[in-house]
């Protein structure tokens, strides 16, 4: 995603390219579901849980508006900036993935070490 390869297609190849609905898997795919599950599981009280659900609703509304008015957004943003946005989103996704790894390691490591340490003591 950060260094995409550009490929030129002939007219014959362009006629055979299938339309893939990318918006659906990216907006409500496995990554989105995992993020919502992790946010709600880390909520410590009712206000945090409500804020997680409000954030989901806000994200849905923003996604709907962005998709509905995408023709206006592309004119406003410009072609050069449209090439930058996927790379910026890739950095955001990478940051979220690294944070998930840090959280998972932080919670799993004490349990793993507690099982290994009795065998290491001499």
**Which residues are CB-contacts of 100 (< 8 A; sequence separation ≥ 6)?**
34, 38
Whether residue 93 lies inside any domain: the answer is: yes
**43, 49 Cβ separation under 8 angstroms:** yes
- CA dihedral over 19, 62, 70, 9, signed as positive or negative: negative
56 and 95 both lie in a single domain:
no
48 and 11 both lie in a single domain:
yes
Whether residue 74 lies inside any domain: the answer is: no
What is the count of structural domains for the chain?
A: 2
Predicted pLDDT of residue 1: 54
42 and 87 both lie in a single domain:
no
Predicted pLDDT of residue 6: 66
111 and 57 both lie in a single domain:
no
Predicted pLDDT of residue 4: 61
Q: Which two tokens stand for residue 66?
A: 């962005």
Whether residue 95 lies inside any domain: the answer is: yes
50 and 98 both lie in a single domain:
no
Predicted pLDDT of residue 12: 62
63 and 118 both lie in a single domain:
no
- Looking at 4-68, list the stretches that DSSP marks H as alpha helix, in order from N- to C-terminal side: 11-15, 23-28, 30-41, 46-68
Predicted pLDDT of residue 34: 80
95 and 44 both lie in a single domain:
no
62 and 86 both lie in a single domain:
no
Q: Which residues of the chain have pLDDT under 70?
A: 1-26, 117, 119-122
Whether residue 73 lies inside any domain: the answer is: no
The answer to whether the predicted template modeling score (pTM) of the entire model surpasses 0.85 is no
28 and 49 both lie in a single domain:
yes
Predicted pLDDT of residue 96: 83
Domain ranges, residue 105: 79-122
């Amino acid at each position: 995603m950060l260094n995409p390869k550009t490929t030129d297609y002939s007219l014959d190849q362009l006629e055979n390219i299938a339309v893939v609905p990318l918006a659906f898997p990216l907006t409500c795919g496995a990554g989105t579901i995992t993020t919502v599950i992790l946010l709600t599981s880390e909520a410590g009280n009712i206000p945090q849980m409500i804020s997680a659900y409000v954030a989901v609703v806000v994200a849905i509304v923003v996604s709907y508006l962005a998709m509905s008015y995408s023709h206006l957004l592309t004119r406003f943003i410009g072609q050069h900036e449209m090439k930058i946005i996927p790379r910026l989103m890739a950095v955001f996704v990478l940051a979220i993935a690294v944070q998930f790894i840090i959280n998972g390691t932080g919670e799993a490591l004490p349990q793993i070490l507690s099982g290994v340490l009795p065998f290491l003591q001499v």
